[in-house]
């Protein structure tokens, strides 16, 4: 199991292709191939994503009880945890400047 926390931002597509593809997990600190970050969806699984582009094409997944997307986010969170991720869930991510 990964001891280091991995920052994840869950987003929902404005026009989902299917229920299984309605939520995307973005890992803004995990580089896929520059300039893309790593991402994960239940269909398609790991891949690269333009963080800014995905943010523009999606809506936030505010996690409040009874949210219509609560089950999809919980299922994706469980799937990622089972893959070995130690997740630090954030609503947004601001890159630190060096």
User: What was the pLDDT predicted at 2?
Assistant: 52
Q: What residue ranges do the domains of the chain occupy?
A: 6-90
Reported as a pLDDT band with limits 50, 70 and 90, residue 12 is very high
In this structure, the number of other CB atoms found within 10 A of the CB of residue 78 comes to 10
pLDDT digits (tens, 9 = 90+) for 41-74: 988 789 999 999 999 999 998 878 888 888 889 9
- pTM for this prediction: 0.86
Q: What percent of the chain has pLDDT over 90?
A: 56
Reported as a pLDDT band with limits 50, 70 and 90, residue 20 is low
């Amino acid at each position: 199991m990964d001891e280091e926390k991995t920052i994840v931002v869950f987003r929902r597509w404005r026009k989902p292709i299917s229920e299984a593809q309605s939520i995307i997990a973005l890992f803004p600190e995990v580089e896929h191939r520059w300039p893309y970050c790593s991402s994960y969806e239940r269909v398609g699984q790991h891949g690269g994503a333009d963080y800014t582009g995905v943010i523009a094409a999606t809506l936030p997944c505010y996690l409040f009880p009874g949210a219509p997307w609560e089950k999809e986010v919980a299922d994706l969170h469980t799937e990622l945890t089972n893959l070995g991720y130690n997740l630090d869930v954030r609503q947004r991510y601001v890159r630190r400047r060096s």
